Structure 1
Amino acid sequence: MIFPVIFLFGVLVKETLCVTGLDAIQRVTGKTFRCLIQNDFKFFIARVWESVGKIDIVGIENIKSARQSGVQYADGYIFPCLRPGCAPAKNQVEATVNRLREDKAEIGMLWMDIEILEWPSNKEENRRFIEDMVTQAEAMKVKVGIYSNNNNWEKIVGLDWTAMSKYPLWWTNDNGEANFNGFQPFGPCGVEINLNWYP
């Protein structure tokens, strides 16, 4: 499966031909965001739903802080809860979007984090779960992207599943360089961050 847009995830990458940004799960202050902006960071992505089945309050506050500090583009990502007893996929998305709106934390896109952690072995069931997340987000008029890589995708839904190929892909690659080396088609400022870029 080939995704139309690819966001590369790397570590401490700086290129002049790409737009750099970050994602972080710990609290980031307005002062730190302003420092990052001065160092050419243009976007921020926050976790807004945790894999334990609850809203990530720190992530939502980070989005608001990023926006107030002048970060032009801010997105959120859902790390879905897959344990027995977790809310259905659509309810997790609905709760997330409602809370973002309630707290006036404006995002451009909501990324569905599809990586290995507690996913059942039933690929058909996993596909339905992802479809339910995406369908709910779209029903709430939220732009959707997929966060994954070849290894995760293969184990969770299989490389033959192409239903999500129309959505932007945030591809993970920890090679420390702003490039697409290693990509396989498939279905500074005192803060610890994951640096991101897009062409």
Structure 2
Amino acid sequence: MFVILATFQLLGFDTSAPLTQDIADCLFNTGYRHAIFEAQFGTNYNIDAINNYNFAKVAGFKNIDFYIMPTQVLDPTEQINAVMKKLLDGNVIDNKTKIWLDAEDTQNYFGYHQENQNFINEMIQVLINILGADRVGIYTSLNSWSKLVDYSWRGVTSQKLWYVKKDGKQNFYDFASFGGWTRPFIKEYSSEQNLCGLQLNKDFESGK
């Protein structure tokens, strides 16, 4: 059953796993309204990204985004252009689609703050050039941000924040400012859930 939590607030999910039409229909009928699919992890493009989008679209989802986990072994500009070309060629970038840059896995980043700051800045700028600033965001947590770029670095504060706090709570009351962000856009509040036959993470968002 879908419950409106508050004005302009939605429930969503994110996953790297392949959907079927039955799974997408089940998730929509369960009340989820925002789907976020993995497009890249490290050196690998997720071959299910385009099919996942299409299944979600048919099911009724109007908010469908993608996330990219980059890798430091590839050129930042080239890897973003490559994955975006696949998504654009697949006709899965509509006028609402956002792209989230995943900044959490230290194995896919450099060992020094300055290198990671430059790495993230370059990729974000490429995405902004393609989509516009309002459709590009960062996925991270306070702990991951501190390790990768330094807690206080404010280089991409103007981008939307999708933060991780797996406390099971569908609200932003736990949010503590970091990186210059004072208000999040999405919260990943639960992970590794099996719902409708799909392994997914659960998200709460303001919808604004």
TM-score (norm 2): 0.82
Whole-angstrom distance in 2 between the partners of 1:54 and 1:36:
26
User: What is the match of residue 104 of structure 1?
Assistant: 91
Deviations 1:154-190 (A, max 9, x none): 1100012101111110011111111224322111422
User: What is the match of residue 146 of structure 1?
Assistant: 138
For structure 2, the 5+ residue unaligned runs are 180-194
Aligned residue for 2:110, secondary structure, equals: coil
Asked if 2 retains the 8 angstrom alpha-carbon contact of 1:22 and 1:43, the reply is: yes
Aligned residue for 2:34, secondary structure, equals: strand
Choose from 171, 177, 180 the match for 1:185: 177
Percent sequence identity is 25
Asked if 1 retains the 8 angstrom alpha-carbon contact of 2:106 and 2:148, the reply is: no
Asked if 2 retains the 8 angstrom alpha-carbon contact of 1:93 and 1:136, the reply is: yes
User: What is the match of residue 11 of structure 1?
Assistant: none
* CA displacement at 1:15 relative to structure 2: 6.3
Q: Which moved more, 1:138-147 or 1:150-159?
A: 138-147
Asked if 2 retains the 8 angstrom alpha-carbon contact of 1:61 and 1:105, the reply is: no
* CA displacement at 1:69 relative to structure 2: 2.1
> RMSD across aligned C-alpha pairs, in angstroms?
1.7
- 2:178 is the alignment partner of 1:175: no
Query: 1:32-111 to 2 correspondence within 5 Å?
Result: 32-51=23-42, 53-82=43-72, 86-106=73-93, 108-111=97-100
* CA displacement at 1:124 relative to structure 2: 0.7
TM-score (norm 1): 0.86
User: What is the match of residue 159 of structure 1?
Assistant: 151
For structure 1, the 5+ residue unaligned runs are 1-13
Aligned residues: 183
Whole-angstrom distance in 2 between the partners of 1:117 and 1:155:
8
User: What is the match of residue 202 of structure 2?
Assistant: 195
User: What is the match of residue 20 of structure 2?
Assistant: 29
Aligned residue for 1:21, secondary structure, equals: strand
Asked if 2 retains the 8 angstrom alpha-carbon contact of 1:63 and 1:106, the reply is: no
Q: Which moved more, 1:163-172 or 1:114-123?
A: 114-123
Deviations 1:94-117 (A, max 9, x none): 011100011112251000000033
- What amino acid does structure 1 have at the position aligned with 2:51? E
Whole-angstrom distance in 1 between the partners of 2:145 and 2:155:
12
